[in-house]
Structure 1
Amino acid sequence: MATTVLVHGAMHGGWAWSAVATRLRAEGHTVFTPTLTGQGDRRGSLTPEVGVGTHVTDLTELLWFEDLRDIVLVLHSYAGVLAGPVVEACADRIRSVVFAGAFVVHPGQSLADVEPPAVAERYRETAQQHGDGWRLPATSAFLAQWAVTDPALQAFVGPRLTDFPLKSVTDAVVFDPASLAAVPRIYIEHTAPPLPSLEHSRTTAVADGATLRTLATGHDMMLADPDGTAALLSELLAVTPPTGRG
């Protein structure tokens, strides 16, 4: 059995992984589903100062206080940006990293740098016009962007989305790329439908040596298809895969 930390993406919270966590725990795995500062049930802690560094600290503190070791770190969407700094700080605790439909950045890049330019500019304009200049308001437009089309899922997810700090979009990450390269990495590409904004990240991850897996579901894979997501993660938790495409 393995220990895994499931990290949500922008505007979500630990709640988003609940169904997958239940399935993995039933198989005997130890599962943590932290909520990042300012998100989900921690939305009251959202301030203009919350950024990538804040969220890196959220995870490194969790790993230290719980004394977690030999973990599989699963990062969804925005959380992929946190991979390098977290692995660098906690290399002795991490067995492998799974980018679950996640954004992938190199040192010196921000989330805005790896999003399509038009998307990044829209985020900046939205924050300026509707988010007091520092936050992205959570609206139903994001459900459409992430292809959350099932009415029941829309009704569940929509009210739980939380505003997201623009600083987490624009903060550049700083880390030694060798630390991340030394850890086995898997990239899960969702294909039904794909998210065009992730094409650059998928290509980057594979070029950097990550193993590519696919899942026939939409961007919010853990919500749209908890069975399929849990099954794939359970398979990945069973072994430490080699780097390279497969």
Structure 2
Amino acid sequence: MSTIVLVGGSFLGAWAWERVTPLLTAYGHQVHPLTLTGFGDRAHLGSPDTTLTTHARDITAAIEHAGLRDVVLVAHSYGGAPATIAAAAIPGRISRLVYLAALLPEPGKSLFDSTPAHVVDAIMETVRDGRIPVMSDEIIDAGFGDHGLTSEDRAWLRARGAGQPIGTYQDPAPADLGAVQALPRTYIACAGDLGAPPSMPGMEVITLDAGHWPMITEPELLARVLDEAARS
């Protein structure tokens, strides 16, 4: 069986995988959901100095400290950016990268560099104390298509989510991410999401019949797909 490391997207910590982790464990995998600096029970550690680089180091440190190898690194949404940087830094420990409705960083660019200026301006208007607040229902509905979240899911996400440190969107990725190209990669697109998944040579693309947060809305379906990806 596989060693699976789970990285959530913006606002999320290890708690976001609570519905998926026991299912993957039941499949026989060793599962490590991570909480990045500034989220979950590490929310108090976040600051304006928390960057994309910080989060990439969180991931490499967790993997190296635990002595993990042959890791299936699963990254959701924003988590795709620091996970890619981490995988490029320790490719010998990674057996497969699995992107879940994820952002892929561009070498030498920040996430804001790849975002339309009017969207960046709108986000910056919401920033308080160096953080982007957890999304309102209006933003969720407008920005994520058929996301599948029930009112209870939204309340759960909002109650436990933590604001995103703004530096994570402003910090440029390393100029060289080439080591990732040699790793097996799977992209799991969510059918409810707006837009098309990225197209990259050598990357398998699977479409999941779910919205943007399948670890919350479709845990059994997601666990089955992750199990299949881990075994491939």
Smaller-chain TM-score range?
over 0.9
Pairing 1:231–2:203 present: no
Distance in 2 between the 1:237 and 1:155 partners?
31
Please report the RMSD computed on the Cα atoms of aligned residues, expressed in angstroms. 1.6
Residue aligning to 2:73? 73
Conserved in 2, the CA contact under 8 Å of 1:83 and 1:180? no
Distance in 1 between the 2:115 and 2:185 partners?
21
Residue aligning to 1:3? 3
Q: Deviations over 1:9-34 (max 9, x none)?
A: 11011100111111000111000001
Alignment coverage as a number of residue pairs: 228
Letter in 1 for 2:2: A
The offset of 1:148, in angstroms, is: 5.0
Distance in 1 between the 2:48 and 2:101 partners?
26
Conserved in 2, the CA contact under 8 Å of 1:143 and 1:149? no
The residue correspondences of 1:26-105 to structure 2 (distance < 5 A) are 26-105=26-105
Residue aligning to 2:134? 138
**More displaced stretch, 101-110 vs 116-125:** 116-125
Conserved in 2, the CA contact under 8 Å of 1:104 and 1:114? no
The offset of 1:177, in angstroms, is: 2.9
The offset of 1:113, in angstroms, is: 2.7
Residue aligning to 2:13? 13
Distance in 2 between the 1:99 and 1:117 partners?
25
The residue correspondences of 1:171-210 to structure 2 (distance < 5 A) are 171-191=171-191, 193-196=192-195, 199=196, 202-203=197-198, 206-210=199-203
Give unmatched runs, 5+ long, in structure 1.
Answer: 240-246
Aligned residue for 2:11, secondary structure, equals coil
Distance in 1 between the 2:219 and 2:117 partners?
31
Task: Report the TM-score, using the length of structure 2 for normalisation.
Answer: 0.92
Q: Deviations over 1:195-222 (max 9, x none)?
A: 34xx4xx22xx23431100101110111
Task: Report the TM-score, using the length of structure 1 for normalisation.
Answer: 0.87
Pairing 1:24–2:24 present: yes
Distance in 1 between the 2:57 and 2:163 partners?
20
Residue aligning to 1:244? none
Identity over aligned residues, as a percent? 34
Q: Deviations over 1:149-207 (max 9, x none)?
A: 4122122212111111111011110052320101011111101x1134xx4xx22xx23
Distance in 2 between the 1:183 and 1:148 partners?
32
Conserved in 2, the CA contact under 8 Å of 1:143 and 1:154? no
Aligned residue for 1:237, secondary structure, equals helix
Aligned residue for 1:84, secondary structure, equals helix
